[in-house]
Structure 1
Amino acid sequence: MKANEKLQVSALSDIDNLKVHGRTTGSLSPLTLFWTGSAVEFNVKGSELWVEVESDYDLYEPWVSILINGVPVSRQMLTAGRYWICVFRGMNENEGKNVRIIKDVQAMSGDPGCSLQVHAVKSDGAFLPVQEKSYKIEYIGDSITSGEGAIGAKAEEDWIPMWFSAIHNYTFMTAEAVNAEYRVISQSGWGVLTSWDNNPNGNIPDYYEQVCGLLVGERNEALGAGDQHDFGSWQPDVIIVNLGSNDGGAFQSPEWKDPDTGKVHKQRMNEDGAYHGEDLAAFEKAVEQFLSKLRKNNPEAHMVWAYGMLGFPMMPAIYRAVDAYTKGTGDRKVTIIQLPDTTEETVGARTHPGELSHRRTADVLAEYVQGILA
């Protein structure tokens, strides 16, 4: 088939009307997409559009979803290498198209070789201004917020990027419902204090002030993942923290032994099945301290602790922690919402919330957030 001879190649840095979503270093030569839900967005008036991507990995390949005029039209695995992918062709050249190319998979802390970059685009049309959204939302969470299991059959148990989705995800759905731009900071298995397996290094708060500090290795360091994030560049109206599920899971999991120090870490249960008081108090302290860190960096945002999509055993502790934070600081712009629990009907792959569960949560959250923003 004959190639379109009118296609003009443009580096991302040469496009004035380009919208970048998600935390980045600010570099466009090339643009590195770190977190789930990170994206490039264009308004294109032309018949054809291609994008030049560069993908690498040792274990977990990146995936992307492509949205045209707000609707997902394709989803694909990005094999290793630098190459062009076609976003659309043969469309009406006189009509503007809103295009979003979204990273579907979380930042892979378990694969130092995993990266996704966008270099350039080629099109036969013009790039028009992208309309700004009314609000900004930041989501902070674990595998649920990463969209693990949100796509795929209930029978799927493999821990692979294919079963992650940034689109069939309450983060995307809630943002769409309230006309908000959004960012996601999330990692499967991680918590506020500890990961599901009692590893204290698997906590989101320690890395919150970096661009994507949970990524390790020389390559990610060179890409700027460990750089300090510029909070002044993007201030959310609402921060939604969906953490606690893995902290609860740590009480049920075996101890974790630090291979470097030999120190053993374990969230303990009492013989009567209740959580050990000291360990529960440590979790509550971690929640308080994280809220303080969020407030320091986001002085005007309303903070919502949202929890419950995979049960809610930590809810009493979350209530106590938020109450202690509020009383200690006088900060009134923090609230708690219990999310709809996942059921047999709404479960997805890997016994995680499926698309129906994410939709139910998005409906509840959108209404709640609209109340805050109003």
Structure 2
Amino acid sequence: MRRMEGRLRTMALEDAPLVRTHGRTGTSRSPLALFWTGSGIELVVTGAELWLEVEASLGRYEPWFSMLVNGAPVSRQMAQEGRRWVPVFRGMNPHTAKRVRFVKESQAMSSDPDCALLLHGLRTDGELLPVPERARRIEFVGDSITSGEGAIGARSEEDWIPMWFSARDNYAWLTAEALDADCRILSQSGWGVLSGWDNDPRSRMPAVYEQACGLLGGERNEALGARETHDFGSWQPDAVVVNLGTNDGGAFRSPEWICRETGDRFKQRLADDGSFHADDLGAFEAAAERFLGRVRACNPQAWIVWAYGMLGLEMMPSICRAVDAHAKRTGDRRVAVFQLPAMTARTQGARQHPGTEAHRQAAEALAEHLRGLLGMPRAER
């Protein structure tokens, strides 16, 4: 549907095929549900004015978003409840083309089915142009680090709220920018490979990897397509970066998880000497190896890089054993482990998580590693 609002033309996203979608979404184009960190839209448009029709619902948490014009951030804000028109720019040279990106800054909220961010359409006096293709595609799978938790905000901040999450100040986004790559981010704070930080075995990223956004509950999210099986053929990455294990390590020092409904229990145990129990490390390694097999089946040509180390290295030996076991069992030679630079007291951000500088250091190192794997020229220094 198109209509004129004075000199502005209004169109639904389904009528704007030149608008590019970023991130895994459901099948609906109007409205377009932005599930994951860093999801959004990108467009190139002429004209003096551009507005986007944004709808948000706020439960316990609220979605945050930012907007970029020609690669530069011009706005970052909390979405307001309801459906409204949000201005992107006004009064710019109508004859020049502007590359615009709308980015969801906060992660999918697995504990809050009422938190949602949708895009319906756009309003402009200009014309849409094709969005240039980027050279590469990279998928990132991780936890709070990959969600950018604490990447923005003062070091003293401890409130667990969406304001301290950032898609653009996190290593995944920065790595993709360095490699001129489109990226998709699948991440959830507190989740792991075998269990979450609290030993909850339901908080496993491998369990939702093959869905659009399977960690979101509620009838509305299901209607928006969150539980649909993802079509991997529609977007094949050159590399999949897995940054999981930090919460699995934390589970060893957390209390036993007990399900209120069933009484089921789960615990990653410590041995008598305080070390990680060998049997439970083995269970983590088996789960990690199975996940590598699943990632490979879904992405047959991609490099798989398990990147780890920004918040400690205690699970690194197990990660290396899992990657080695996968490679030996399958003959897969496009899989690697990469140690990320550790956060320091100087680079710590909010909520005792990596800050922007820690993410920049990680992105610089990871991008250089990926350049070598993908046969790209090294960065000039």
What's the TM-score, normalizing by structure 1? 0.98
Tell me which residue corresponds to 1:188.
189
Residues 88-127 of structure 1: pairs in structure 2 closer than 5 A? 88-127=89-128
**Matched residue type, 1:297:** C
Q: Is the 8 A contact 2:28 2:224 kept in 1?
A: no
Tell me which residue corresponds to 1:203.
204
**How far apart, CA to CA, are the structure 2 residues paired with 1:142 and 1:228?**
21
Aligned-partner SS, 1:363 = helix
Q: Does the alignment pair 1:238 with 2:247?
A: no
Aligned-partner SS, 2:145 = coil
Q: Deviation above 4 Å: which 4+ runs of structure 1?
A: none
Task: Please state how far the C-alpha of 1:71 moved relative to its aligned partner.
Answer: 1.1
**How far apart, CA to CA, are the structure 1 residues paired with 2:7 and 2:148?**
39
Tell me which residue corresponds to 1:16.
17
Task: Please state how far the C-alpha of 1:366 moved relative to its aligned partner.
Answer: 0.7
**Matched residue type, 2:359:** H
Tell me which residue corresponds to 2:363.
362
Residues matched between the structures, number:
371
Structure 1 residue ranges without an equivalent (≥5): none
Tell me which residue corresponds to 2:276.
275
What's the TM-score, normalizing by structure 2? 0.96
Aligned-partner SS, 2:241 = strand
Structure 2 residue ranges without an equivalent (≥5): 376-381
Residues 1-374 of structure 1: pairs in structure 2 closer than 5 A? 5-374=6-375
Task: Please state how far the C-alpha of 1:26 moved relative to its aligned partner.
Answer: 3.2
**How far apart, CA to CA, are the structure 2 residues paired with 1:334 and 1:140?**
15
Aligned-partner SS, 2:149 = coil
Cα shift readout 1:47-72 (whole Å, capped 9, x = no counterpart): 11000011002111111010111111
**Matched residue type, 1:13:** E
**How far apart, CA to CA, are the structure 2 residues paired with 1:229 and 1:57?**
26
**How far apart, CA to CA, are the structure 2 residues paired with 1:211 and 1:344?**
37
For the aligned residue pairs, the C-alpha RMSD in angstroms reads 0.8
**How far apart, CA to CA, are the structure 2 residues paired with 1:15 and 1:53?**
16
Q: Is the 8 A contact 1:57 1:111 kept in 2?
A: no
Aligned-partner SS, 2:282 = helix
**How far apart, CA to CA, are the structure 1 residues paired with 2:49 and 2:346?**
41
Q: Is the 8 A contact 2:8 2:124 kept in 1?
A: yes
Cα shift readout 1:302-354 (whole Å, capped 9, x = no counterpart): 00000000011000011111111111110010000000000011000000000
**Matched residue type, 1:267:** Q
Aligned-partner SS, 1:362 = helix
Task: Please state how far the C-alpha of 1:267 moved relative to its aligned partner.
Answer: 0.4
Task: Please state how far the C-alpha of 1:91 moved relative to its aligned partner.
Answer: 0.7
Cα shift readout 1:79-103 (whole Å, capped 9, x = no counterpart): 1100000001111111110000000
Q: Is the 8 A contact 2:27 2:224 kept in 1?
A: no
**How far apart, CA to CA, are the structure 2 residues paired with 1:338 and 1:16?**
40
**How far apart, CA to CA, are the structure 2 residues paired with 1:329 and 1:260?**
39
Q: Is the 8 A contact 1:138 1:240 kept in 2?
A: yes
**Matched residue type, 1:76:** Q
**How far apart, CA to CA, are the structure 1 residues paired with 2:259 and 2:41?**
39
**How far apart, CA to CA, are the structure 1 residues paired with 2:74 and 2:173?**
15
**Matched residue type, 2:297:** K
Cα shift readout 1:4-51 (whole Å, capped 9, x = no counterpart): 831111111111211000001232121111100001001011111000
Cα shift readout 1:280-318 (whole Å, capped 9, x = no counterpart): 000000100000000111111100000000011000011
**How far apart, CA to CA, are the structure 2 residues paired with 1:36 and 1:120?**
20
